[in-house]
Structure 1
Amino acid sequence: MTKSNWTDELKDFADLKPRRSLAMEAADTLREFILLGKLAPGVPVRERDLADAFGISRTPLKEALRILEGEGLIDYGPTRRPRVADPSLVQILDWLRVQGALEGLGGELCCQLATEHEIKNIAALNAAIVKARDAGNALEAFRKDMAFHAAIVAASRNAALIETHTTYNARLWRVRYLSSQRSVGIETTKQQHLDIVAALETRDAVAARKALRTHLQTAEINIAAVLADDTPAS
């Protein structure tokens, strides 16, 4: 995709979004644009081109880029010009292993501290993932998937855990999206989610920790395969 093509498409994409603060709106739109594979890792994104596409000034645009930099979706090269982040597989796997430990702890604490309403909400989010996937809405299924994991950690009542999990989740957002799109192993992933929900419903902290860590280990395999192919699997 040429620069003029992607900036025109980004402008059309931005026009469809509900209005929020200019910086948040730009960050939300560019995040989804990257997630959907419209901009490949390593592609430079000139501030002037982005400002033109969004129809905003450079000030809110810079704030939007700072948001995405914090999430690990944008980084800056030696010339301090923004580009789509392209972390190495080693970096990604390191992050995933930390995330697996965080989510395992989150599941354990969730079993101990979550209310029945929170457990029911987690189960409902899992059902919503399946519904969105069956409807062919891959991005919505992914959003629900991330909400499912975040809800488990949120129910831990541990502020430090929640903050750290959010940071790593942002860094892994794009590659976890790619992982979620692989048709290979999708039934395994579904079963793992059911195992997680069952462990939470029975308040089995050991099983919840194990199920969540196993799930993140599966994500390691899927992400490694996607990055080896260098193309998102359908």
Structure 2
Amino acid sequence: METTLSDDIANQLRRDILRGKLPPGSTIKERDNANEMGVSRTPMREAIRILAKEGLVVLRPSRTPIVATPSLKEISDAIDVLRALELLSGELACKNASNDEIAQIRALHEKMSDLYDHVDTLDLFEIDMSFHIAIARASQNPALAETHNAYLSRLWRARYLSASQRRSRDRVLRQHSMIVEGLEQRNPAKVQAEIQSHLEHLVLNIRSRFEELDAERETSDAG
């Protein structure tokens, strides 16, 4: 699928947000960012709109957009919806996915496994998200895949904060492997069980990360 200049700019801004170069609450100034990237303000404005739809940026009337600061409750609510979408995706992929699509999902898992200890955390994270997107697409239900992508996008930063800790290497790779095996066996119960466990651990990791950030802020304020 071809990408536009706005898509490319949105991808760069998204990576800056995930890496913390643009932290939560910070402003995204059209003119300054356009000048820094050497582009005009029109594609920059559209890129910011893309990120706003993903929930990474908050648009404010007559004011500069800011990087979103979702609460733990907002993130947990989105994960509840994502869980339902991914469970349905797994079930339908077992029924509808072509052998080639399942082979591509396995290839993404093997790529992630091979590169896990050797690449940048953000690059690894993007492979991880591609794995989950591929399963939703393999459901052969465009409405489901579109909705899944929208909710996955809302959770990019939260999931990246979880993934960047790299505390769960063996578990994540094992669960991905079991999901792939379930797809190959056309076994929806196996796929759904691993997806359920995968997302339960995600919630625990995100909650833990929020607690760490709260502690860091308290220490900083005390200093």
- Given candidates 48, 52, 56, the residue that maps to 2:39 is 56
Tell me by how many angstroms 1:136 deviates: 3.0
2:103 counterpart of 1:120: yes
**What is the one-letter code of the residue matched to 1:100?**
R
Residue deviations 1:168-221, cap 9 Å, x none?
011111111111112323322222112211211111111111211221111111
Secondary structure of the residue aligned to 1:134 is coil
Distance in structure 2 (CA, Å) of the matches to 1:111 and 1:22: 36
- Given candidates 128, 144, 149, the residue that maps to 2:127 is 144
Distance in structure 2 (CA, Å) of the matches to 1:177 and 1:104: 21
Distance in structure 2 (CA, Å) of the matches to 1:145 and 1:184: 15
Residue deviations 1:136-173, cap 9 Å, x none?
32222111111111111111111111111011011111
Tell me by how many angstroms 1:55 deviates: 2.2
Match of 2:203 in 1: 220
- Given candidates 47, 52, 59, the residue that maps to 1:76 is 59
**What is the one-letter code of the residue matched to 1:97?**
D
2:193 counterpart of 1:210: yes
2:46 counterpart of 1:67: no
Distance in structure 1 (CA, Å) of the matches to 2:124 and 2:165: 13
Secondary structure of the residue aligned to 2:108 is helix
**What is the one-letter code of the residue matched to 2:70?**
P
Match of 2:27 in 1: 44
- Given candidates 70, 73, 87, the residue that maps to 1:87 is 70
2:177 counterpart of 1:194: yes
1:153-164 alignment, distance < 5 Å: 153-164=136-147
CA 21–156 in structure 1, closer or farther in 2 if over 3 Å, else same: closer
Which runs of 5 or more residues in structure 2 are unaligned?
Answer: 215-223
Which runs of 5 or more residues in structure 1 are unaligned?
Answer: 1-19
Is the CA contact (8 Å cut-off) linking 1:176 and 1:223 kept in structure 2? yes
Distance in structure 2 (CA, Å) of the matches to 1:215 and 1:25: 30
Between 1:219-228 and 1:74-83, the stretch displaced more is 74-83
- Given candidates 2, 5, 8, the residue that maps to 1:25 is 8
**Equivalenced residues, count:** 212
Match of 2:160 in 1: 177
The share of aligned pairs that are identical, in percent, is 42
Is the CA contact (8 Å cut-off) linking 1:102 and 1:161 kept in structure 2? yes
**What is the one-letter code of the residue matched to 2:193?**
K
Is the CA contact (8 Å cut-off) linking 1:130 and 1:141 kept in structure 2? no
**What is the one-letter code of the residue matched to 1:205?**
P
Distance in structure 2 (CA, Å) of the matches to 1:184 and 1:58: 40
Residue deviations 1:114-134, cap 9 Å, x none?
111111111110111122212
TM-score using structure 1 length: 0.85
2:86 counterpart of 1:103: yes
Secondary structure of the residue aligned to 2:10 is helix
Between 1:89-98 and 1:194-203, the stretch displaced more is 194-203
